[in-house]
Amino acid sequence: MKDNNNSEEKSELSTSGRFRRNLLSRSGSLIAGFALVSGGLTAVPALASTENNDASDFTAFIRLSRLLTGHNSLDIQLGERLYSAMCQQNAQFAGWVKQLSDYVQQNNIPDVETLDEKLKQHPLHEPMMAIVKAWYSGVIEPGYHATVYGYQQALMYQIPRDGMVIPTYAHNGPDYWVANPPPVDRLLTF
């Protein structure tokens, strides 16, 4: 009976600890956001707040991204960040997405390989490749000063995830501290 109470207490402690960590991380992000705005810098706006982007454009982007990456379960929040950033980087991007989507529908393109072959010498090939690179790398521009829109969610880390740790200085991978530590089989003696 006493052991059962201890396990309930530990469960409550770990739940409250997780809640505190999440609260601390969210409040830190909020403070950083206020600091950026008050300092005159602007953060990447959310998709809903952009004037020249609407929900149908974003839906077309996600549909096109699923075809281009071959993955149906893409992270929608990452998609919002990538789409918003790519539209900010180039005012023609939303139009390119529409043109690519129309081309795919009109030509009954079944996969990215077929589309790549048909667009080899076409001006839409470059925006197509930019979308693929963004989803796989989590960035939209080259160089070591590039803004990272998705690290853990980048597709280049999803495929080998079962056998490879995402590169990081945290030895057990990003956010390793949220998982329970492995059980101690025996105590080390020194």
Dump pLDDT digits (tens) for 44-71.
333 333 444 478 899 999 999 999 999 9
Q: Are 52 and 87 in contact (CB under 8 A)?
A: yes
The total of other beta-carbon atoms located within 10 Å of residue 3's CB is 7
pLDDT at 158 over 60: yes
DSSP 39: T
| Residue that is written with structure tokens 């839409």 in the block | 124
C-alpha distance from residue 63 to each of 55, 75, 79, 123 (Å): 12, 12, 11, 20
| Residue that is written with structure tokens 């699923």 in the block | 66
Question: Which amino acid does the sequence have at 12?
Answer: E
Its pTM surpasses 0.95: no
Average pLDDT over residues 148-160: 82
Average pLDDT over residues 31-56: 44
Q: Left if phi > 0, otherwise alpha if psi is -120 to 50, otherwise beta: which for 175? A: left
